[in-house]
Structure 1
Amino acid sequence: MLDSRFFSYKDTVLSCEGVALDALAAEYSTPLFVVSRNALVEQYRAFEEAFSSLSHFTCYSVKANFNIHVIKALSDQGCGCDVNSGGELFRALKAGVDPQKIIMAGVGKSDQDIEYALQSGIFMLKAESLSELRHIEAVARRLGVTASVGVRINPNVTAETHPYITTGDSKEKFGIDEGSLDEMFDLFKSMKHVNFMCLDMHIGSQIFDTEFYHAATEKLLDVLDAARAKGFSIDYLDIGGGFPVTYEPQKPATPIEQFASVLIPVLKKTGTTIIFEPGRFIAANSGVMVTKVLYRKRNHIGKEFVIVDAGMTELIRPALYQSYHEIIGVKQQEATIVADVVGPVCESGDFFARGRTIDAVGEGEYLAILSAGAYGAVMSNNYNGRLRPAEVMVDNGRTSLIRKRDTFEQLIENEV
C-alpha cells in the first residue's frame, strides 16, 4: 500500500521521494526494486514510539530485506538485527552493526554458524532444540567462551494466517515444546559454557488479531515463572515479530499502537527487557518493484493477459503464498482493464494477479507492484537463467544504486 509521504503521483507519474519511477526504470532498466530510505526510518520510528514506555530492544529481522544499505539505514537509527544464518550475520557486520546488537535465530544452525556467531561476539544465540543446546555448549567449550543463549519456546498457538507463515503451532518445526521444559532446565544446570538469559517466541507473520499475541505471551510468562522457580535469572523476553502491514487497501492492518496497548501492561510486570523482531513491518511498504509491460494479448475466450518482464523469480510471494500485491500504473491512466498480470517464467504459477482490474497500460509502459520491500529482492533467484534485478535507494531526492543487476557471467562463475 502506498504511503503518500514517500510514494505519490507527481505530474501524473508515480514518484519515490520526488524521483519519477519511469526515469529510474529508464536509467537502471527493469525489473527494478526501489526503496525509500525515509519510509524505512519512519516505520522504525513509529514502532519505537508505540512501545516507548516499555524497556525494550528492537532487532530488525534482516530476512525481510538483507541489503546492507537497508540494514545500515536502520542501524544508524539505533536498531539492532535479528539474523538467521552465518550469511545474514556477515551482512549485518558488513553494514556496521554492533555485534552486541545482533541476535541469531534459526531452527537449523550449523556448528559453523554457531562458531562464527560466538567469535563475532554477538549478543545472543537462540536455541530451538535440546540437541542444538548441546552443540552450542560443545562449540563454546572448544572456543573457551561462554555462550549467551535464549530459548525459543513453541507456545502452541495457531494464529490465523497463511499456513506457510505460522510458526507457533506444535505441528511446526520451530522451538522447544512445552513438554520438554523440565529436561531443558536440567540440561542448562549441567552446562558450564552457556548462560541462559532469555525466553523467546514467534507465532508467525501477518497476525492481525492482538489476542493471538496476548495468548502466546501469557504462555511465555508461564515458562518464565517456571524458569525462575528453578533458580534461573531471566533478564530478557523476546516476543518475536509478525506485526501486520497493509497489502490490500480493503484489508487495513491492525495499528501497531493497538498491539502496544495490549502487550505493554502484560510485559511491564515481568521485570525484563523485551526484544522485538519486526521485519516485514518495517520493510514491506518501503519499497516497490517497477516492471515493464512486454506484451498484451487476448485469447479466444476473451481473457486478457498483461505480460511483464518481472516474474516469480523477482517476487515469489503471489506464487508461493497466494499473496496480494496492489498493482498500479507508473503513469496515471484514465481507463482500466480486467486482466491477469503474468511474468515470463516457464511456470503457470508465474503471476502477480488473476482477473484483476488494473490501469490500462500499453506495451512498453511500466507497472509498479507495491509493498515489495519485504520478501521481494531477498527471495529473488536465477531460475530460468534469470538475472536478479538491480536495487535502488532514494533518500530525499538522492538516488543510489545499492545492488547491481546480475550479469550472464555471474550465472556460471561458481561452476567448475
Structure 2
Amino acid sequence: MLDSNLFPYCDGTLHCEGVSLEKLAEEYGTPLFVTSRNSLINQYRAFEKAFAGLDHFTCYSVKANFNLHVIRTLSEEGCGCDVNSGGELFRALQAGVEPGKIIMAGVGKTASDIEYGVKSGIVMLKAESVSELRLVNDVAGRLGMKASVGIRVNPNVTAETHPYITTGDSKEKFGIDEADLDEVFDLLKTLEHVDLTGLDMHIGSQIFDANFYEAALEKLLDVLAAARSAGFDIRYFDIGGGFPVTYEPQKPATPIGHFAEKLIPLVEKTGTTILFEPGRFIVANSTVLLTKVLYRKQNHAGKEFVIVDAGMTELIRPALYQSYHEIVAVSQHNSVMVADIVGPVCESGDFFARERTVDRVKEGEMLAVLSAGAYGSVMSNNYNGRLRPAEVMVDGDNAKLIRKRDSFEQLIQNEVF
C-alpha cells in the first residue's frame, strides 16, 4: 500500500511527493511509471532498522526493478545487490555498485555469466546444482582464479503463496536438495578452484507467515553444522528475501519487525554475516503506473468496460499471477461504478481488474495503478508492437526522466533485413 505522505491528494489531484501526477502525464505522456525516490529510501531504512541488532548485509534483489536510478539510490544508502544474470550484474556495476557488495544467483547461469562474476570479483556465486559447481571450477581454473561460491539449499518448505512464486519446495527447480549435500561436500573437496564461503536459501515471495522461514532456517542451520564438520569455513549465511508488502488494504502485510523478532534469535550466533535479498519489499509500493482512459463502453448485458492505454505489456502481474493492484483516479471523484479495467492488447487476459468498484472516470481522464514498482517496468515488453513506457523519478518537488519511452525505430533495431 502506498505511503499517503508520499502519494497524497493535493487540491483534488494525486501527487508523487510534491509533483502532480497529472502534470507528469502531460509532460511525459502515458503509460508512465512514476517512482518516489524517498519511498525507496524509507523502505530500505525500515528494513535496516528492523535487523539493526544483527551482523548482516542487505543485497537488493535487482530482478524486482533494475532501473539504474533505483539501483543507484539504494547503493548510495549502502545497500548491495543480488543479481541473477550477467545482464543484471552489468546493470549493477553500471549503477556504481561495488563488486564486493554483489552476489549472483540463478538456476541456469551460463559459462559467460560465471566468468563475468568471477572476473568482476563479486562476493559469491550461489550454485544450484552439482553440474554448476563443476562448471564454476572449470571456468575459474581457466582464468587462473578461485571462485567464491555459496550453495543454494532447497529446504523443501512449501510456503503459502502463489505457486508461481514459491521457490523452496522440492518440486521446484531451485537449489540443491538437502539430501544431496554429502555428495556435494565430497565433490567440493576435489574442486581446486572453488572456495565454499556461504549457504543460501530462498523459499518464495510474499511470505506472510514467519513460521515458514523458521522451518527452513532450522534445516539450513543443520547444513551449516554439517559444512563446518566437513571442514568448510562458512562466512555468509543467506536467508534470501520474500518479505511481504501490502497490495490490498484488506490484506495488510506482516510487519518486517515481526520477522526480525523471529529470525534474529535463530541466526545471531552462527558466527557468520547474515545476507538478505529483499526486492519487492523495497520497491513495490514506490511506484504507480499512470494510464489514460481511452474509451468506456457497455456490452448488451450492461457490463462496463474502461479501456486504458496501459496493459499487460506494461504490468503483467494481474494476467500472470491474478494479482491485485489498487486503481484510483488521478483526479478525485465523488461517485463510483463497477467495471473491468482493461488494456489495449489483443488478449482476453489483458486486464488490471475485473468487476472492480472504481471512480466513475470519463474518457480522457487518468487512472493510477498502484504498487507497480516490483515486476512492472522490469517485465514490460513489446508484444503487439507496443512501446515500453517512460519512467520518471520524483524527489521532493523535482522530477526527472530515468528511462525514455521506446521509439518505433527501437522495435526493429536489432533485426537484420
Same fold (TM over 0.5): yes
2:63 aligned residue: 63
Distance between the aligned counterparts of 1:74 and 1:18, measured in 2? Answer: 21
TM-score, with normalisation over the residues of structure 2?
0.99
SS in 2 for 1:333: coil
1:345 aligned residue: 345
1:128-158 CA-partner distances (Å, limit 9, x unpaired): 0000000000000000011000000000000
1:244-275 CA-partner distances (Å, limit 9, x unpaired): 00000000000000000000000112111100
Identity of aligned residues (%): 75
SS in 2 for 1:164: helix
**Mean alpha-carbon deviation: is it higher for 339-348 or for 266-275?**
266-275
Distance between the aligned counterparts of 1:265 and 1:272, measured in 2? Answer: 13
TM-score, with normalisation over the residues of structure 1?
1.00
Give how far 1:121 is off: 1.1
1:316-374 CA-partner distances (Å, limit 9, x unpaired): 00000000000000000100000000000000000000000001110000000000011
Give how far 1:118 is off: 1.0
Distance between the aligned counterparts of 2:118 and 2:273, measured in 1? Answer: 22
Distance between the aligned counterparts of 1:262 and 1:244, measured in 2? Answer: 15
1:207-256 CA-partner distances (Å, limit 9, x unpaired): 00010011101110011111111111111100100000000000000000
1:45-88 CA-partner distances (Å, limit 9, x unpaired): 00000000000000000000000000000000000000000000
Distance between the aligned counterparts of 1:30 and 1:384, measured in 2? Answer: 17
Query: Unpaired segments of 5 or more residues in structure 1?
Result: none
Distance between the aligned counterparts of 2:148 and 2:173, measured in 1? Answer: 23
Counterpart of 2:366 in structure 1: which amino acid? Y
1:302 maps onto 2:295 in alignment:
no
Query: What do you get for the CA RMSD once the two structures are aligned?
Result: 0.5
Distance between the aligned counterparts of 2:121 and 2:227, measured in 1? Answer: 26
1:228-239 aligned within 5 A: 228-239=228-239
1:270-329 CA-partner distances (Å, limit 9, x unpaired): 111100000000000000000000000011101000000000000000000000000000
1:202 aligned residue: 202
Distance between the aligned counterparts of 1:88 and 1:172, measured in 2? Answer: 23
Counterpart of 2:57 in structure 1: which amino acid? F
SS in 2 for 1:190: coil
Give how far 1:5 is off: 2.0
Distance between the aligned counterparts of 1:120 and 1:178, measured in 2? Answer: 30
2:17 aligned residue: 17
1:52 aligned residue: 52
Distance between the aligned counterparts of 2:130 and 2:327, measured in 1? Answer: 45
Counterpart of 2:395 in structure 1: which amino acid? D
Distance between the aligned counterparts of 1:119 and 1:224, measured in 2? Answer: 27
Distance between the aligned counterparts of 2:234 and 2:88, measured in 1? Answer: 27
SS in 1 for 2:8: strand
Distance between the aligned counterparts of 1:50 and 1:281, measured in 2? Answer: 13
